[in-house]
A and B are shown apart, each in its own frame.
Chain A
Amino acid sequence: MAAAEMYDYLSTITADVDQTLAIDAQGSLTEEGSFNQVIHLADDASEERITLSSNPLFYVSWPWNVLTEAEAGTIFDLYFDAAKANGMGNSFKWTAHDGHTYVVRFDCKLSRTGQAVSRWGYPSVRLRVLGRIAD
Chain B
Amino acid sequence: MLSLTATQTALVAATSKAAMWSFLITDKNGVIYRFVSEPAAAIAWATGISWDTGITWDAGDHLSSIVLTDFSGIDLRRNLAEGAIIAPSETTFNLSNAGSTLTFSDFKGGSVLIELYLEASGYAQTKVAGWRFAIKTAEPAYQNIRIVCEDFLQKYLRGDYPNTRLPADIFASNRSYENDGVCIPVPFGTAYVPLRDVYVDGAVTVTAATIAAVASAAGANCKFTDSASGLGAIQVGATVTVSGFTTAANNGSFQVLKASAAELEIAYDAGLVDEAEGDDVTITHGAGYLMLGDPARTYTITKIRNPSDLGYKSEYASASYTFTQSTVTDADGDTWRVFQPIIADTDLDGTADAPGSFGVPGGLTYDPPVQFTRDDTASMTNPADVIAFVLEDMGVPSAWIDDAAGGTFATAHTTFDGWGLTFNGAFWYKEPRETVLARLLNMCHATLRVGELVELHVLSKTSQKTITAAEVLRSADQGEGSFTYRDVLAENYSDCGHVAWQESGAAQDRFMKVLVPAKATRAVVSGEILECPFVQDSQDIQRIGTLYYYRKLLKDAEIGLLAPGTCLALQPDDVATINHANYGGSYAVLIDAMKIMKDLSIQFTASHYSAAMDDWGDLSPAALTIPADDTAHAWQPSISGPQTDQDIGRTAYTQWGKEYLTVGPTTNVGQETDLQKALNAVGQAGGGAIYLLNGTYQMTDVLYPPDVNLEIAGQSRGGVELKNKAGSNLLALHNLTKSYNFHDFTVTSQDAATYKALINVYGDTAAENTAQVTLERISLSLSDGGSWGGNGDYGIQNYKSDGRMIVRDVRISGGKIGIYAGEAAAIVLNAIECDAVLLADVYLGEMGDFVVDTLMSRDFWQNCVAVVNTVTASRGVIRGINAIGKAISGAANQYGVQVAYIDKLQFAENTIRIAHAGTGAASGSIGLIMTACNEAELKKNIVDIDVSDTSAATGLSINASNDCIIANNRVKVDNDDTTANHEGIILASNSSRCVVAGNNIDMVNNDAKDLGICLNSGSNNNQGGDNITYNCGTSVNDGGTGNAITAKDV
Interface residues of A (CB under 8 A from B): 36, 38, 40-44, 46-55
Contact = CB atoms under 8 A, between A and B. Distances in A.
Contacts of A53: 37-38, 65
A89 to B, nearest CB: 9
A47 B481 CA distance: 13
Nearest to B480: A43
Nearest to B561: A43
Given A47-B15, A50-B599, A52-B599, A40 B564 contact: yes
Interface string B519-543: 0000000000000000000000000
A44 B468 contact: yes
Given A42-B469, A42-B471, A54 B565 contact: no
Given A42-B474, A50-B17, A52-B37, 16 more contacts: A40-B601, A41-B474, A42-B471, A42-B473, A43-B481, A43-B582, A44-B469, A51-B19, A52-B19, A52-B598, A52-B599, A53-B37, A53-B65, A54-B38, A54-B39, A55-B38
Nearest to A48: B564
Q: What interface size band does chain B fall in? A: 20 to 34
Contacts of B481: 42-43
13 contacts: A38-B601, A40-B473, A40-B599, A41-B474, A42-B473, A43-B582, A44-B470, A48-B600, A50-B19, A52-B19, A52-B598, A54-B18, A54-B39
A46 B65 contact: no
B332 interface: no
B468 A48 contact: no
A134 B19 CA distance: 29
A44 B580 CA distance: 11
B16 interface: yes
Contacts of A46: 15, 470
Interface in B935-973: none
B474 A43 contact: yes
Interface in B1-28: 15-19
A75 to B, nearest CB: 25
B576 interface: no
Nearest to A89: B98
Contacts of A40: 473, 564-565, 599-601
B142 to A, nearest CB: 15
Nearest to A47: B15
A50 B468 CA distance: 20
Which 8 pairs across A and B sit closest by C-beta, in order of nearness?
A: A44-B469, A51-B18, A43-B469, A38-B599, A43-B481, A48-B564, A49-B16, A40-B564
Nearest to A52: B19
Interface in B37-66: 37-39, 65
B18 A48 contact: no
B477 A41 contact: yes
Count chain A CB atoms within 10 A of each CB in B470, B481, B601 and give the residue with the most: B470
Count chain B CB atoms within 10 A of each CB in A36, A46, A50, A51 and give the residue with the most: A50
A51 to B, nearest CB: 4
B566 interface: yes
Contacts of B483: 43
Count chain B CB atoms within 10 A of each CB in A38, A42, A55 and give the residue with the most: A42
Contact of B18 (A42, A47, A52): A52
Given A49-B16, A50-B19, A53-B38, A42 B470 contact: yes
A53 B474 CA distance: 23
Interface in B576-611: 580, 582, 598-601
Contacts of A38: 599-601
Nearest to A55: B38
A76 to B, nearest CB: 25
B472 interface: yes
A50 B116 CA distance: 13
B227 to A, nearest CB: 94
Interface string B312-334: 00000000000000000000000
Given A40-B601, A42-B564, A48 B582 contact: no
Contact of A50 (B470, B472, B565): B565
A48 B469 contact: no
A89 B39 CA distance: 23
B840 to A, nearest CB: 121
A36 B19 CA distance: 11
A46 B566 CA distance: 12
A48 B565 contact: yes
Nearest to B17: A50
A52 B565 CA distance: 13
A44 B566 CA distance: 14
Interface string B236-260: 0000000000000000000000000
Contacts of B582: 43
Nearest to B118: A50
A15 to B, nearest CB: 13
Interface in B694-731: none
Contact of A48 (B16, B39, B477): B16
A51 B565 CA distance: 12
Nearest to B476: A41
Interface string B596-638: 0011110000000000000000000000000000000000000
Contacts of A49: 15-17
B576 to A, nearest CB: 16
Nearest to B483: A43
Contacts of A47: 15
Nearest to B60: A13
A41 B601 CA distance: 10
A50 B17 CA distance: 5
B440 to A, nearest CB: 39
Contacts of B473: 40-43
Count chain B CB atoms within 10 A of each CB in A41, A52, A54 and give the residue with the most: A52
Interface string B470-506: 1111100100010100000000000000000000000
Contacts of A54: 18, 38-39
A55 B599 CA distance: 16
Contacts of A51: 16-19
Nearest to A44: B469
Contacts of A41: 473-474, 477
A41 to B, nearest CB: 6
